[in-house]
Every structure is written in structure tokens, then in C-alpha cells.
Structure 1
Amino acid sequence: SSLPQHILVEVYSYLPMNDRLNTSLVCKWWSDCFHHPALWSRFLFKFDTDVDSEGLAVTAIEKYCNELKEVEIFLNQRQKISRDRACYVMDELTALEKKRLQKFTLNFTGLNPLCFNGSVILDKLKKLFSRKPSLSCIDLNQCNIAFDNDLLSIIALQHQFLRIVRLQNSCLIDNVTPEGVLKLVKSCPLLTELHTFYHCVNAGVLEAFCAEDRSAIKRISLLCNRSDKYNEMIPREAWHRFSLTLPGAEVTVRFHHSMPHHIIIPLLCEGIPLVSLHLKVYGWLTDELVHIGVTFSSSLKYLSFHTSMDIRRKAPPGLDIALLDLVSRCSKLEALHCYCTLSDEVIDKIK
């Protein structure tokens, strides 16, 4: 009980919530330190009745709402009561007069129930983001609902100091267009990391990133899904200008299994500063690996590719040769995830 408050608070900051709670029961002084505002600037809400039927995390928003700077919500989307509790937390954050929130993350867990499209949650997000102060990070990568341009317009209008925006979820339907992303990029000059869909970026968006009056973008992640089957690809010339103007920028490209194989090579054109590539397309990718090794030999650091639904299937000889050629060309390659069976000889050569 003689420990100074600032030291005890520092110790508390390293403890998981359950351990912190148990520690607060030692004495009144330790209990007082448990409620110190510095310990409640960050909070993780987990709403899942299978784990917490009472939703005890709700009490944190009622007691410490004014202290919260970083909020992360994990929500079992198939449970209506869990969805309601998450909406309640967002309502409380929206209603605050003094807003300190800087980072907001919403993650869905569990299977998507039939007919749940998330329109209520999308409305709650729009109301939350329509209130100041400006957030520095918005992470909705695991929030599997259909986003739209209205959401991006609200974010662009209210949060000019944004540095990180993640809108790359696994929902195969979205209503975001390049015009919506362009407005976001132009309104947020400090943006250094953007995760979105491939069809939401065009030459105009890349050109906006090259403007002299903004911070240099560091990371772009693009997800290619079935919507990209029918849209124009980003021109090679636009990628070349982007790479020359922003030599430190890194691009990640992800392919959803709904993408046809014949689009992969044209889409992965020369000029993209490609650092990380995820090919979840379930098919033999011999020609694609040859193209990747030749085109991105000076930039590629991470490669993951699914070749079959059955990872026990052996790779054909042509794929072995293409993979070894890729590894020999890509001098910066740090990680390789191959979802098929390779021979010991090929593995030894890769190493």
C-alpha cells in the first residue's frame, strides 16, 4: 500500500483485464489505482453471449466513457443481443460532449446470420464518425457489411487528421466508388495507410496521393474480388508515376477466390511497388508465378498462394520450376506460404 500511484498504475498497465481486476482486490489503495483514468484510455469490448452472457463489458462504457481514446469492439454478428450491445457502446461514444477518441476498430466474429446486412450498424458508424474530434485511425477490415460513399464522405468531412483507414472487409458487395475514395484522399492529407478494394482505386486516386501538399503514403492494400471482373484495371502508366513520385510506398494485393485466373497477370502489371501478394484462387499458378518473379523481382517480400482446396496434393513439375525461378529472382523475399505439397528437394533448394 506504500507504492506511489504512478508506479502502481504503470504495473497495472501491463496486466490483462482479469489479472488487473484481481489485483485491485488487494486493498483500498490498489482498488483506487485500478480506476485511474490512464488505465482506461484503451478498452477492448468483447460481445459474445457464448463467453459472457451478461455482457459485463458494457459497464466499462458507463463508467469510463469520458477517458476512452482507443476503442476496439469484437462482436459476434449472429447474436442479436451482442449486436445491440455493440450499438449501445457506439451510441454512448457518439453522445459524449468531450470527445477524446482517436482510434476506433470494429471486428465481426462468428458466422453471418441469414438476412443480416448490417444496415443498423452502418447507420451507427455514420453517426459516430459524424461527430468530432478527428480520429487518427479507423479500422473496419473485419466489419463485414457493405460500405458506401456516404460513409466515406462523413469520414472525409470530419476527420481530416486521419492517418490510417482500413475498409477492406470480406463482404463481396460494397457501394464504394473511386470518387468516394478520391474525396477521402484529398480531404485527409496526413493519410499514410489505406486498405480498400481494387475497384475503389483508379488513376485519379493514385494521382491524388502524388500531390506535393500531403504526407507520403506508406502503405496501400488492395483486395480484388468478383466486382473487379467487370471494372477497368489501373493503367500501368499511373502505377509508374506513383512509384517514381513515392519511392517509399509499399503495395499489398490480395486476390479473392472468386477472381478468374486470366485477370491475375494483366492486373499485376509492371510498375506496381508490390511488396506483399496473397493469391487465394485455388488453382495451379505456374504462368502467374513466372510473371510475378520477373515483374516484381526487386520489390516482393511476401508471397502466399493457394493452389488447391486439398493442400496434400503434390505440385506439378512446372510449378516447382516456376517457384524456384521466382525465389532465385526475388532477392528481398522474406516469407513464402505455399498451400500444396512440395518435394523435399524443392524445399531444400528454396532454403
Structure 2
Amino acid sequence: MAAGPRWGSLPSVLIVDILSYLSHEDRLKASSVNKRWRNCLFHPSLWSKIKFQLGFSKRHRSRFLADRCGRFVREAVIKFNAHNCLEVREGMRIITILGSNKNLQHFALFPSSCHIEWPDSNFVNRFLNGIETIVQISRRLRHFSLGCVEELLEHSNHLLQLLSKHHSQSLKHLFLASVKEDSENYGIIWLTPDDLRPFYQLTHLSIDYDYLTNSVLESFVDRSRAKLERLIIHVHGIESTHEKISNATWQMVSAHNPVLEVTINFVHSFDGVELLLDILQPNLPLAHFRQFFCTNLNTAAINYMSTHYRNSLQSVYILDGLMDGYPVPYISQTDEDPFVMLAWRCNKLQNFSLIGYEILEDDVIAIARLRGHSLKSYNIPHCCIAVEEEEEHISWFSHGCYAPEFPQKVSENLKWNWSPIEDDELPLAVFDISADAERAYMRILLSDQQV
């Protein structure tokens, strides 16, 4: 034993190197060797990324990490309950600490809601001032996300001016899309192509459809710019005067940005779904289509997608509430189910979810057969699966009463074990119109902003 290695007296540089190969749990165990190892545990290179989770069980840990690492961490994500004033205050505290961090490169908010319950009337201004300080102090921001919070994004024009002044040559990921629960009544700030043009390194952008114009898109057709890879569009209300994006514009943008993937999210957008065919264009490189609580299904637009996005569409996620406890039937304009045609034609489709709308048992099987094991996720609720019943020459549809072998048939076609979503696995807002709908979609929308 005396001739063995003296682990407790290793040089700090070697201790840090050893710790860099260990998991977080193993680092904590290794730090118990002695005080020297404990001091090395918080070397800046070991804490380049931190997700500050402010829920009750993890708040103490996040507070400790903010105090020890907040002034040198490079990537910071703040996850908090937007309706809990204590967590909002703690988020403000962390933002204040990050405001002295010159090396911060990645700043993102991950709230539970698009609306924050501020502890007092002046708190939103203090919150914004803290974020502005981060923008002004950090030397090289690359990722900036305000987590779809409407009150913060109302100040996008001012924040863009600051970002342009300090980070126009470094910012790669900019997420400005918001969530507006009232799609028929909200204010619109003034954004122009000149607000986005300075960001030459931008590869990921989220933006509300309200600000998307031909001129804004054409600003990304510039050989001196980085290639745009992801464009995420949130659609809420649609003004009658809104400029329609032409197919020629999408053709230019797609030609200049050959790997561009577009995600379109409709959130409480009644007008948007109705006017969906005015938004879609043949050369729009649509990769992901989602609609949340829009109370309508535009089957003509679904058929359009299956025709024009065969080589680009990767996922479809449609979520709505039941009507008086029953799934909403949709009317197909053709003899074939539009989603079956989508599965047949779109050869890159990997994820499909249809929640709140009636779908026939045979069509569920047909989609699984057409996509096979290439379908990675397939979410259909038990209560939405319709089976045609007939008795004495009278036919009707029952829901959730499929044959016992039905899930097995779907599983055999998918080549993985599949089962319908049970009622208790669905968001409460599917059944209760007064329930908080954000719980059903905020996590999905925020996942777009993680790169």
C-alpha cells in the first residue's frame, strides 16, 4: 500500500482531467478524497453547462451552483414554474448573477407558461433589465431564448438592438417566437428586415408569423451569411393585411439554404388553420407541422402536405380537445383518409400524433403498415379510435371499443410494441375546456429551442 499512488496529492491539473471523464455522481464521490479534490470539483471546465431547475426538490442545488458557478458557466438554462412567485424570484436572482459573467455564450429561459406571474408590478422591468445586462456584459453570446414568454417578447425590438450591437458576429441561435393564448386580441411590435439582417452567423431562428414577410425572408438570401438550418414559425392570429409569402421567395430561400428545415406551430390559431392553404407554398421546406387547440382540422391542407412535402415532412402533431366527451370527426374531401395518404406519400415521416379527432381503426392500422418501423412515435388516444358497428342495417361508430388483437396488428406493422394512449395519460385540457392548455404544448414548443 505504501508504494501505491498518492491520489490525495496529485497536481490539480491531473485531478481536473480525471474528473472530466466521470459522470456527475462519480465526481461527487471522487471529491470526498480530500479538500484538494473538493476544490477541483468546481473548476470552470467541469461546469460549462448548467440547467438551473427551480422546483422545490432542486432549488437548493441550483442556488448553490449559481453561487459557485454562475460567474463562469458558459451555457445556462433556467427552468422554473412561471406561476410560482418564489421560483420567479429565484430566477431573477440567477439572472443577476449571470449578469456579471463575461464568458456566457448560451442563455435560455425554460418557463412552465408563456405568462409569468410577477411578484409585483415592477418585477417585469427588473427581469428585463437583468436580461439586458447579460446581453451587454457577455462577450460572445451564441444562443438566446426567451422561452416564448409574451411579456418579454413584447420588447423584442429593443433586445434585438442590444444583441445587434454586442453579438451580431457571434449569435447563431435566436428564438423570438411567442405563445399567445388569445389569438384574436394581442399587440404587434414593429420588426423589420433591418432588425435581423446584422446577424450574419444565424443558423436557427424562431419568429411569429406576424413578422414574417417576403423582405424578412429575402434577408437570408446573402452569400456572406451563414446558412439558415432551422426556421420555426408560430402562427396565432392572421391580419387581413398580412403580406402573403410567395412561392418565389421560398424557392430563393431554399436554394440559398439547402439544409433548411421549417417548423410551423399553430397555437390557438383558429384563423391560421382556416387559412393554412394561403400559408403553405410548394417550395416551403416543411419538416414539422403542429397545431394545438385550434378547434378545426383543415383536411384540404393535409392533402396538400402529402402532395408537396413528400421528401421533407418528418413529423405531424395535432392536438385538440374533445367535443362533449367525444372525438371530433373530420370530413375528408377524397375517398381516402388524408392521414393515410400522408403516411403513404411522405417517405420521411417519423412521428405522427392525432389527439382529439376521430380516426377509424382500419386507418390506424393502414398508417402503421405504410410507415412500418420508420415511424418512431405514433400517438393515437384510446378514446379517439372509432370502430364501425352495424345492427339491423343500421350502422354507427363506437369509440375505444376495438378488438383485443387490434394493438397487436399495429405493433406487427411497426415492428415495435405499440398501444393507444389511455385517458389518464392525456393532458387535462383534452377533456376540460377550462383547464390550462399550456401544460399540453409548452414542453414541445420549448424543445424547438434546444440546440
Is 1:39 equivalent to 2:36 in the alignment? Answer: no
Deviations, residues 287-311 of structure 1 (Å, cap 9, x unaligned): 2212222232332121122354369
| Equivalent residue number for residue 259 of structure 1 | 270
Is 1:304 equivalent to 2:317 in the alignment? Answer: yes
Question: 1:58 & 1:22 partners in 2: Cα distance?
Answer: 21
Residue type at the aligned position of 1:348: I
Is this contact kept in 2: 1:224–1:254, CA < 8 A? yes
Question: 1:195 & 1:187 partners in 2: Cα distance?
Answer: 16
Is 1:135 equivalent to 2:141 in the alignment? Answer: yes
SS of residue matched to 2:304: helix
SS of residue matched to 2:359: coil
| Equivalent residue number for residue 102 of structure 1 | 105
Is this contact kept in 1: 2:230–2:261, CA < 8 A? yes
Deviations, residues 50-76 of structure 1 (Å, cap 9, x unaligned): 3356x4533333333342111111122
Question: 2:93 & 2:319 partners in 1: Cα distance?
Answer: 40
Q: Specify whether residues 174 and 46 from structure 1 end up closer, same or farther in structure 2 by C-alpha distance, changes over 3 A only.
A: farther
Is 1:249 equivalent to 2:260 in the alignment? Answer: yes
Percent identity for Structure 1 against Structure 2? 19
SS of residue matched to 1:145: helix
Residue type at the aligned position of 1:305: I
Question: 1:332 & 1:315 partners in 2: Cα distance?
Answer: 27
Residue type at the aligned position of 1:313: P
Q: Specify whether residues 45 and 62 from structure 1 end up closer, same or farther in structure 2 by C-alpha distance, changes over 3 A only.
A: same
Residue type at the aligned position of 2:132: K
Deviation at 1:29, TM superposition (A): 4.3
* RMSD (Å) for aligned C-alpha atoms: 2.9
With normalisation by structure 2, the TM-score equals: 0.68
Is 1:347 equivalent to 2:364 in the alignment? Answer: yes
Deviation at 1:186, TM superposition (A): 1.6
Specify which of 177, 191, 202 is matched with residue 168 of structure 1: 177
Deviation at 1:104, TM superposition (A): 0.8
Specify which of 1, 4, 18 is matched with residue 8 of structure 1: 18
Is this contact kept in 1: 2:330–2:358, CA < 8 A? no
- More displaced, 226-235 or 83-92? 226-235
Is this contact kept in 2: 1:302–1:335, CA < 8 A? yes
| Equivalent residue number for residue 343 of structure 2 | 327
Residue type at the aligned position of 1:35: F
Deviations, residues 250-306 of structure 1 (Å, cap 9, x unaligned): 111111123323211111122211111112223243222122222323321211223
Question: 2:297 & 2:70 partners in 1: Cα distance?
Answer: 52
Question: 2:360 & 2:105 partners in 1: Cα distance?
Answer: 49
Q: Specify whether residues 72 and 318 from structure 1 end up closer, same or farther in structure 2 by C-alpha distance, changes over 3 A only.
A: same
Question: 1:249 & 1:74 partners in 2: Cα distance?
Answer: 29
What stretches of structure 1 move > 6 A for 4+ residues in a row?
114-117
Question: 1:303 & 1:271 partners in 2: Cα distance?
Answer: 18
| Equivalent residue number for residue 338 of structure 1 | 354
With normalisation by structure 1, the TM-score equals: 0.85
Is 1:313 equivalent to 2:327 in the alignment? Answer: yes
Deviations, residues 165-224 of structure 1 (Å, cap 9, x unaligned): 112232455654341xx2343211110110111112211111110111111111101000
Q: Which has the larger radius of gyration?
A: 2
Is 1:122 equivalent to 2:128 in the alignment? Answer: yes
Is this contact kept in 1: 2:99–2:134, CA < 8 A? yes
Is this contact kept in 2: 1:314–1:342, CA < 8 A? no
SS of residue matched to 1:304: strand
| Equivalent residue number for residue 220 of structure 2 | 209
SS of residue matched to 1:130: helix
Question: 2:86 & 2:315 partners in 1: Cα distance?
Answer: 40
Is this contact kept in 2: 1:282–1:309, CA < 8 A? no
Is this contact kept in 2: 1:185–1:209, CA < 8 A? no
Specify which of 78, 86, 90 is matched with residue 85 of structure 1: 90
Trace 1:126-205 onto structure 2 (pairs within 5 A).
Answer: 126-147=132-153, 148=155, 149-160=157-168, 161-171=170-180, 173=186, 175-179=188-192, 182-205=193-216
Trace 1:210-249 onto structure 2 (pairs within 5 A).
Answer: 210-226=221-237, 231-249=242-260
Deviations, residues 73-131 of structure 1 (Å, cap 9, x unaligned): 112222333323222222222234xx111111112136743897934322321222122
Question: 1:38 & 1:337 partners in 2: Cα distance?
Answer: 41
Q: Which structure 2 segments of 5+ residues have no match?
A: 1-5, 369-451
Q: Which structure 1 segments of 5+ residues have no match?
A: none
Q: Specify whether residues 337 and 230 from structure 1 end up closer, same or farther in structure 2 by C-alpha distance, changes over 3 A only.
A: farther
Specify which of 113, 117, 122 is matched with residue 113 of structure 1: 117
Q: Specify whether residues 202 and 284 from structure 1 end up closer, same or farther in structure 2 by C-alpha distance, changes over 3 A only.
A: closer
Is this contact kept in 1: 2:180–2:236, CA < 8 A? no
Deviations, residues 11-40 of structure 1 (Å, cap 9, x unaligned): 44x225xx6445533543432331222122
Deviation at 1:317, TM superposition (A): 6.6
Aligned length: 342
SS of residue matched to 2:265: strand
Question: 2:280 & 2:124 partners in 1: Cα distance?
Answer: 33
Deviation at 1:239, TM superposition (A): 1.5
